[in-house]
Structure formats: structure tokens, C-alpha cells
């Protein structure tokens, strides 16, 4: 890490069927974040696309997919370099004929640092992901950037403690979560509590960027938030409204947080090797 304190932005945006309009909104969000002093911006799942899995995939769904690098990546990367803004977004990636739910990590100079693919794939009402995505094959992504070591947990991956622990063991200081969370999907408080516990148990900050807005089959809630390694919500966006949530995180909190001071050191993996 080059700085102890870091201002981050979570772009809580809605998306319609017009991809170029969505992308333009995203580029504007980047400008707003940089103008406010943010050095990192994180976008929700399928950042500039309608939420495709709200209904089962039909023939030709691949028209929404792009390679990485590809046109959307290049547009975001150019803006990231212009603004000197580390950027994490999410798209439907196509690679060797397979499609994935993927998040490129772009450095402040516009270069690709790495790529994370969602590991776990859900099939549920309004989330027909198995017909769109192959399970990710790149492991638990942790990437060294100019703003620190970023771990990526894409949407459904957040529900798997093993995955979130893997990010800690690979040295993540901040885990970012591109999310598509529906209105009323969770009992009150659980949406935040799950990530609060993960941050507390694993010793990192978390920033969850959620979609917002009503789409044909699903309405997304927003309420993006940032959590400290002490399990506290330190910033949260409004529900059901677009917003660029800004938060300052203090990496000096990591050294003495309970997970780094005790939990991770006292692990006994020989007792639970299957994890």
C-alpha cells in the first residue's frame, strides 16, 4: 500500500437495455468519483448491461458478451488512465466460446492488472445464472494495485465463507463486491451482516457496490456499503436511488484488527484440511 488512507467510490447505478447509455453513465460516475478525490471506483455486477439472468438465457444471448480486453474494457481503461483512477467493473465475458461473469481490475494508468471470474453460479427465480455463466476458473482473485491489495468477490461468491477466507489468506486488504441484490431478497439487516462478519473474521475492509432500479423481472435495492475490519458499516448508500457512495478507509486499522492479531494466526488447517 502506498497510502494509509484511501477514498473509494461505489457506483450504485441502474441499467437499461441501451448499453451505450449505461456506459456513458458509468464514465460520468468515474469523473464524479475522481473529482471528489476517490482513487478507486467499483461498479455493480453487469455494470453496463441489463441484468440478463433475470430470465433464462435464450439463443443469441452471447451478443451481450465481450472479450477482455474488448470495447467496453478499452473505454473504461481510457477513462481510468485519464482520471488516474483504479477501476473495477463487471461484464459478461466471452473467452474461447465460454461466457463468464467477470470483473477486470484496471490500474490508474489504464492497464489491466488482472481478471476475476465468478466461481459459484446460482440458479434461482430471477437469477437464472447457470444458463449464462460457466463457473469461474481463475480462483480467488487478489491483485496488487497502487491503492492496495484488492480481493474480488463477485455477487454470489460472497455467500461462501471458504472463498472469503481464501481472499484473506492471499493477502487482501480490501475486498470489493460487484453485486446484484434484489429488493426484499434478505431479512432486514442480513444483507449487511453477512459482509460485516466476513470482514471481521478475515481482517480486511469490504466495499459492496449494488445495482439499483426496477427491471422487467427484478427490482434491485441499492444500499451499497463499506465495512471495516472490525465489522462496522462505515458508509452506506440510499436504498432504491442512484448514488456515488464515497468512503474513506484507514488501512492502519488492519494491523491491530482481531482477525490479523489473533484469528488468522491461530488457525489450525490440519484439523480442517478440506477447507
CATH number for the domain harbouring residue 181: 3.60.110.10
234 CB-side CA count, 13 A: 19
Question: Average of pLDDT values for 123-129?
Answer: 97
pLDDT of residue 151: 98
Residue 231: is its pLDDT beyond 90? yes
pLDDT of residue 2: 54
Number of domains in the chain: 1
Q: For residues 146 and 163, give the distance between their C-alpha atoms in angstroms, rounded to a whole number.
A: 24
pLDDT of residue 3: 74
Farthest CA pair distance, the chain: 52
Place of cell 427490482: 219
- Beta-carbon neighbour count of residue 71 at 10 Å? 11
Structural domain boundaries enclosing 23: 5-263
Q: For residues 53 and 211, give the distance between their C-alpha atoms in angstroms, rounded to a whole number.
A: 14
271 found inside a domain: no
Question: Average of pLDDT values for 92-117?
Answer: 98
pLDDT of residue 138: 97
Residue 224 region by backbone torsions, left for phi larger than 0, else alpha for psi between -120 and 50, else beta: beta
The C-alpha cell that represents 148 in the structure block: 492496495
Question: Average of pLDDT values for 120-128?
Answer: 97
pLDDT of residue 1: 45
Phi, psi angle pair for 46, to nearest 5°? 45, 60
183 found inside a domain: yes
Query: Hey, which residues does 66 pair with through a beta bridge?
Result: 93
* Residue 24 and residue 47 in contact, taking contact as beta carbons nearer than 8 Å: no
What's the count of helices (H) and strands (E) in the chain, helices before strands?
5, 17
pLDDT of residue 186: 85
The 10s digit of each residue's pLDDT in 18-64 is 999 999 999 999 999 999 999 999 999 999 999 999 999 999 999 99
Amino acid at each position: 500500500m502506498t497510502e494509509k488512507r484511501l477514498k473509494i467510490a461505489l457506483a450504485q447505478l441502474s441499467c437499461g437495455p441501451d448499453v451505450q447509455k449505461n456506459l456513458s453513465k458509468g464514465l460520468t460516475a468515474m469523473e464524479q468519483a475522481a473529482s471528489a478525490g476517490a482513487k478507486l471506483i467499483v461498479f455493480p455486477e453487469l455494470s453496463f448491461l441489463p441484468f440478463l439472468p433475470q430470465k433464462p438465457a435464450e439463443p443469441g444471448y452471447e451478443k451481450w458478451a465481450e472479450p477482455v480486453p474488448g470495447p467496453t474494457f478499452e473505454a473504461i481503461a481510457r477513462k481510468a488512465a485519464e482520471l488516474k483512477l483504479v477501476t473495477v467493473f463487471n461484464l459478461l465475458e466471452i473467452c474461447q466460446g465460454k461466457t463468464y461473469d467477470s470483473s477486470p481490475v484496471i490500474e490508474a494508468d489504464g492497464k489491466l492488472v488482472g481478471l476475476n471470474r465468478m466461481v459459484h453460479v446460482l440458479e434461482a427465480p430471477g437469477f437464472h445464472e447457470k444458463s449464462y455463466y460457466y463457473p469461474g476458473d481463475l480462483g480467488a482473485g487478489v491483485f496488487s494495485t497502487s491503492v492496495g491489495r484488492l480481493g474480488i468477490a463477485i455477487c454470489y461468491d460472497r455467500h461462501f465463507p471458504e472463498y472469503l477466507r481464501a481472499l484473506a489468506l492471499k493477502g487482501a486488504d480490501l475486498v470489493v463486491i460487484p453485486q446484484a441484490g434484489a429488493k426484499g431478497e434478505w431479512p432486514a439487516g442480513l444483507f449487511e451482516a453477512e459482509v460485516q462478519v466476513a470482514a471481521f473474521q478475515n481482517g480486511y475492509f469490504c466495499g459492496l457496490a449494488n445495482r439499483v432500479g426496477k427491471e422487467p423481472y427484478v427490482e434491485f435495492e441499492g444500499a451499497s456499503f463499506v465495512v471495516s475490519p472490525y465489522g462496522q458499516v462505515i458508509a452506506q448508500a440510499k436504498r432504491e436511488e442512484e448514488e456515488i457512495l464515497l468512503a474513506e478507509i484507514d488501512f492502519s486499522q488492519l494491523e491491530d484488527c482481531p482477525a490479523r492479531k489473533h484469528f488468522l494466526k491461530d488457525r489450525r488447517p490440519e484439523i480442517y484440511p478440506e477447507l
